[in-house]
């Protein structure tokens, strides 16, 4: 590589403070920092990919759009995803004797991660794909696991209070819609009852009119004097 060639040339230079040695050291440090940043980006991308894969495998199928209540349940399950492993470590600690703390590092990492995620959920929220968006939900459901497709996802933070407010808003809207439906039903019932009453009234009037005519005719006949032969 270019760096190896530079170092090979620099072997002839004995003075450690020469400009050539300083330039090589600066270039080497720059390349090292670049590799560290690249590695950190790769690790972060892998962690995000693992999170999205877990979300994909644990969402309730055939529910679109996703609800605030289901999202809260999903995130609580995500926070406690390593609880079973903690239980296994605790069992090993109890029967392991002197070697009971051989998994201490793993246990500490899990507990710290769980504590951090719980704090995020209680405050600013945990960042996941926006599963309340039907388009994003469908994209997540059909994701093949390729990390190069991660930029296509729209991420959003979901916290406990935020999801609670969303759930209450949905409940209020549901109550309003239900009340409107009840009022509409009552109004329609009253309107129909009024129409039925009017129809009954007009029907009774029509039924009475022939009787009056008959009475009138009879009265007229009775009033007429009989002729005596």
pLDDT of the residue at 19: 77
Q: Which residue has the tokens 């039907």?
A: 134
Look at 9 and 72; give whichever has higher pLDDT: 72
Helical (H) or strand (E) element with 158: strand 155-158
> Strand pairing partners for 156?
128
Residue 157 pLDDT > 60, yes or no?
Answer: yes
**Lowest-confidence region among 97-111, 173-187, 196-210, 212-226:** 212-226
Helix (H, G, I), strand (E, B) or coil at 129: strand
Q: What is the mean pLDDT of residues 168-192?
A: 75
Residue 206 pLDDT > 70, yes or no?
Answer: no
pLDDT of the residue at 202: 60
Q: What is the mean pLDDT of residues 88-94?
A: 86
**Lowest-confidence region among 17-26, 129-138, 204-213:** 204-213
Helix (H, G, I), strand (E, B) or coil at 127: strand
The mean of the pLDDT values for the chain is 80
**Lowest-confidence region among 84-93, 112-121, 172-181, 198-207:** 198-207
Nearest Cα neighbor of 125 from 166, 170, 173, 168 is 166
Residue 185 pLDDT > 80, yes or no?
Answer: no
Residue 205 pLDDT > 60, yes or no?
Answer: no
User: Tens digit of pLDDT for each residue in 111-130?
Assistant: 999 999 999 999 999 999 99
Note if the pTM is more than 0.75. no
**Radius of gyration of the chain from its Cα atoms, rounded to whole angstroms:** 41
């Amino acid at each position: 590589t270019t760096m190896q060639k530079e170092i090979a040339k620099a072997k002839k230079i004995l003075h450690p403070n020469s400009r050539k040695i300083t330039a090589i050291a600066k270039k080497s440090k720059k390349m090292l920092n670049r590799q560290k940043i690249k590695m950190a980006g790769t690790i972060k991308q892998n962690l995000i990919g693992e999170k999205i894969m877990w979300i994909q495998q644990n969402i309730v199928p055939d529910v679109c759009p996703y609800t605030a209540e289901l999202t809260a349940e999903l995130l609580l399950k995500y926070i406690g995803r390593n609880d079973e492993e903690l239980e296994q470590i605790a069992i090993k600690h109890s029967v392991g004797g002197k070697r009971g703390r051989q998994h201490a590092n793993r246990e500490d990492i899990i507990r710290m991660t769980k504590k951090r995620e719980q704090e995020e959920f209680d405050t600013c929220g945990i960042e996941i794909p926006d599963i309340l968006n039907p388009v994003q939900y469908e994209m997540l459901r059909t994701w093949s696991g390729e990390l190069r497709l991660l930029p296509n996802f729209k991420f959003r933070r979901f916290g406990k209070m935020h999801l609670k407010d969303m759930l209450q808003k949905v409940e209020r809207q549901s109550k309003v819609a239900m009340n409107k439906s009840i009022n509409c039903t009552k109004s329609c019932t009253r309107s129909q009852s009024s129409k039925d009453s009017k129809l009954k009234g007009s029907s009774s009037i029509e039924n009475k009119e022939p009787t009056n005519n008959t009475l009138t005719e009879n009265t007229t006949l009775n009033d007429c004097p009989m002729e005596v032969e």
